[in-house]
Copies of this chain bind each other. A is one copy, B any other.
Amino acid sequence: MTAATLPVPEGYRILDIDGVRSQLADLPVSGRLGGQPADWVIEEVGDGNLNLVFIVRGPESGFAVKQALPYVRLVGESWPLPLSRAYFEHRALTIHSEHVPRLVPKIHHYDDTLALIVMELLEPHIIMRHGMIAGTEYPGFADDIAEFMARTLFSTSALALPADQMKAMTAEFAGNTAMCRITEDVIFTEPYMIAENNRWTEPWLDLYAEATRKDTDLKIAVTRLKRQFMGAPEALIHGDLHTGSVMLWAEDTRVIDPEFAFMGPMGFDIGAVVGNLLLNYFSQIGHEAAPGDRDAYRQWILATIETVWNRFRRQFLDLWESSIKGDAGGDIYGAGLFADPEGMAALAREREHYMDRLLTDALGFAAAKMTRRLLGVAHNIDLECISDTKCRATAEVRSLKLARDLMVNTDRYPTMGHVTDAARAMNTHQPDFAD
């Protein structure tokens, strides 16, 4: 299959800088940039794996312009990928902006033919992953990401939406199947087998990669997670909610790039946040000038993980409880079966049970998200930027071992405190590298 086999709309063309300039010149919203088109400074930054990204700066403001290509940018035309992901990204951003307008970039324009999204330019925000490598604390992050997840997930779930709206949304986002397929392959399958695109920190992780491929309990566990990913349309999930999809600075947080969005298990988003924070936690060994320099930052990361979950849990429950008290409850628990005091008490226990189950799901998905960054095709700069490969491998082995336990023995982690305790203990583990 080549890119030529993927249909593109009549009129689609890959834009260059002048193409972006002339496209924008025709849009009323370009007035926000100020000046004349010739005055705009446009550069292609393309720091993502999939798309073209242009930064446009005018005298008065800036835009970020994102265009989907009919293939994976990182790989080229040999890995085709439908342009429709731009449609789903703009749809997800639109839905997110209804529920958490302050936490997503503002969309100025969407062009279906060009698979092009024009958004506000976020400044002075940086990609969170880079900030964490530098050891920057973000005091607002835990509350912000918890609010993002609680509001977007609750509001697009069967706890809030009538069944017909749930089904319509499921049907619409079912079209994003090519993006889901990437996740199914590179997260839930390939890291656990011999696959062409896999890589790991050689030679240190060779035996660990081999042990993972032979770990039957782990493979059963990840396959159950894959089945859940493919068959549990619980809510509109972001689908790629790692610290590279968060842009922020001390006073503002935005979640970007929901092109993997579809109706899936809520735990996948929560797990993406937790797993990527844990990876960064273990990576700190490679970022400190002297041992212990980053101990306070490590503490901040673990505290952040706990706060993310606790705030998410509280806010999700608040939304649920207020939804039931009013008349706006969704179809499932809103039918009045639990209106008496005993029913209210039972429903309160049921909500706790629901949240406990979400935590279990999230920890499994967190583990899957960690493992794929250690043994699969796409790694994290958090670890990749550690040039001492033995040091990097030490961080990776710690990550891999915790992930394995989280996925196989999930019931040993009834609270997020159990997870951070285990991370703290694992951070002293010295791999027995045969060197």
Chain A residues near B (Cβ < 8 Å): 158, 163-164, 166-168, 170-172, 174-175, 177-178, 180-181, 184, 189, 192-193, 214, 216-217, 219-220, 223, 226-227, 230-234, 331-333, 335-338, 340, 342-343, 346-347, 350
Contact = CB atoms under 8 A, between A and B. Distances in A.
Contacts of A217: 346
A338 B193 CA distance: 9
B230 A232 contact: no
Contacts of A168: 174, 177
A332 B223 contact: yes
6 contacts: A158-B227, A164-B178, A216-B338, A216-B343, A220-B347, A220-B350
A194 to B, nearest CB: 9
A180 to B, nearest CB: 6
Given A193-B335, A226-B332, A230-B331, 4 more contacts: A158-B230, A163-B184, A164-B178, A231-B232
A337 B170 contact: no
A407 B300 CA distance: 46
Contacts of A232: 231-232
Contacts of A231: 158, 166, 232-234
B184 A331 contact: yes
Contact of A167 (B158, B174, B331, B332): B174
Interface of A is mostly: helix
A380 B174 CA distance: 38
B219 A343 contact: yes
Closest 9 CB pairs of A and B: A171-B171, A167-B174, A171-B174, A216-B346, A164-B177, A189-B335, A167-B177, A219-B337, A216-B342
Contacts of A347: 220
Contacts of A180: 163, 167
Contact of A332 (B193, B216, B219, B230): B230
Nearest to A234: B231
Contacts of A223: 332-333, 337, 350
A45 to B, nearest CB: 32
A313 B170 CA distance: 30
B230 A193 contact: no
